[in-house]
Amino acid sequence: MKDTVSVLCLVLLVSVLEVAVAKPNSATFIKCLHDRTSPKNPITDAIFTPDNTSTFLSSYFSYTKNKRYSSPNQNLLAIVVAEHVSHVQATVVCAKTNGIQLRTRSGGHDLEALSYISSVPFVILDMHNLRSITIDVSRKKAWVQAGATLGELYVKIKDASKTLAFPAGVCPTVGAGGHISGGGYGNLIRKYGITVDHVVDALLVDVNGKLLNRATMGEDLFWAIRGGGGASFGVILSWKINLVEVPKIMTVFRVNKTLEQGGTDVLYKWQLVSTKFPEDLFIRAWPQVVNGTKRGERTIAVVFYAQFLGRADKLMALLNKNLPELGLKREDCHEMSWFETTLFWADYPEGTPPSVLLERPTNPIFFKSKSDYVKKPIPKEGFEKLWKKMFEFKHTVWMQMNTYGGVMDTIPANATAYPHRKGNMFKVQYSTTWLDASETETTLSLMRELYEVAEPYVSSNPREAFFNYRDIDIGSNPSGETDVDEAKIYGTKYFLGNLKRLMQVKAKYDPENFFKNEQSIPPVRFM
């Protein structure tokens, strides 16, 4: 009898192990999709599988921005390009019940491609067709679906009002779903804060496929998705946002200062005064390697981009008094509407038609980005060390420095899940691009070295990082599991003291950790 029981236990154990290691079946997943959607909103044309190579690859490539991840691996079972909320709900439920990992992609700008790659069997839920935008001018509000781009949102706002805007990023092809949920920012940051400071409601599909709004999801989850990223908690369907008032006429300028023109000295002075300017003024400093005046020569050009919520004469007086080293001239200043500034910041020439912001180009490049927060002035010798390392790059490399202060100093770090508020002088984005896959390892190594050179001059304990500038170097987990200790490493850098609450929210709403990726938030309950 004892032997019989042992054999039965062994058979049962083997069966359990076989189930555990069995690969998820894409056929049952697709059948589940059809079973859970209505013929009124057919899902057939929204499903792309490797069986039809051309359409499958076309769908994958259409929103793949980083050429480091330009080929789908064998773990990608299907792409669902949702056209209705029921498609989103079905994809979540069917992926979960079939043991398939889910990655959600809005605009494809995830800097480490975690929205469309995985080393375990997975499906991509592509949101780009869910892009409706509704503007309510009288209430100064808008509903924006996750698949809409910032460019589309800006055009809609422009068509509705000359004095309303939304404080978000300057890249028009970024998807609203990820940009807003990670705490996206732009040139209105000192006046109005960041995206999540203006979210008043949201629609989210949870782990059970239920469609929730702010009232039904509860304040904990609503807090978490405003800065903590949506991908750890569900699928963001749309955001309700407050629009902000801007003057009819604003002023922008772009001024370059090379090293030979005293660029380092001007940059040093910029960091001393930029956070003290009135909140109507935002100045970005953008050091980058450029060709020098002589053949074969290279130098650093610090490009100063500015936006001022007012007229040029007032801006001139402000700069000449507080940053005369910049040498700003009246002809450098351009007065224009808020919408025209969005074209300026996207580097389109004057007179470019607004419709250009509706375009969704598919031009992936090789790139890598990292981020830092600076809390005290970087000495000139520090900048010189950074320039020396930047000169070692063969291709494009830059450091984009975005000034803080203003209203950011007044918003508590725990008001939303985005914690990087008071005490920061500016945020840095390090970026490089290159041309060929053979250069990838060398370039990535140089980026890590540049990051190391910057270490003495930036935040520490922890060395903070911006979640929307995803960086796998600061810590990550395997695709199929989430080690809490490892998650605390990258999570503390992204979310500081808000990580504990984020983990508690995760434990409440996704206790089995279905929504996960290499840098997701783990479910942890604290006593």
Catalytic residues, by residue number, are: 469
Distance CA 273, CA 425 (A): 10
Long-range Cβ contact pairs of 511-515 (< 8 A, separation 24 or more):
512/207, 513/482, 514/95, 514/96, 514/102, 514/207, 515/102, 515/207, 515/231, 515/232, 515/233, 515/234
Residue 11 neighbours by CB distance under 10 Å = 10
Region label for 376, one of left (φ > 0), alpha (ψ between -120 and 50) or beta (otherwise): beta
406 CA to centre of own chain: 22
Contact between 107 and 174 (Cβ < 8 Å): yes
If we measure between CA atoms, which residue out of 303, 300, 305, 275 comes closest to residue 290? Answer: 300
Q: What's the CA gap between 314 and 501, in Å, rounded? A: 44
Sign of CA dihedral 501, 506, 512, 514: negative
| Contact by Cβ (8 Å): 206, 512 | no
- The identity of residue 66, as a single letter, is N
Q: Look up residue 453 and give its DSSP letter.
A: H
Q: 3-class SS at 512? A: coil
Alpha-helix runs per DSSP H in 150-288 = 150-160, 176-181, 189-192, 214-217, 219-224, 263-273
Q: How many C-beta atoms surround the C-beta of residue 84 within 10 A?
A: 17
Estimate to the nearest angstrom the gap between the alpha carbon of 276 and the chain centroid. 27
Q: How far is CA 316 from CA 264, 272, 308, 322, 406, in A?
A: 22, 18, 10, 10, 20
**Tokens found for residue 423:** 């005490």
Residue-wise burial string across 30-62, b where 16 or more C-beta atoms lie within 10 A, e elsewhere? bebbeebbeeeeebeebbbbeeeeeebbebbee
3 state SS of 283:
strand
- H or E element at residue 281: strand 281-291
- Alpha carbon distance 455, 467 (integer Å): 18
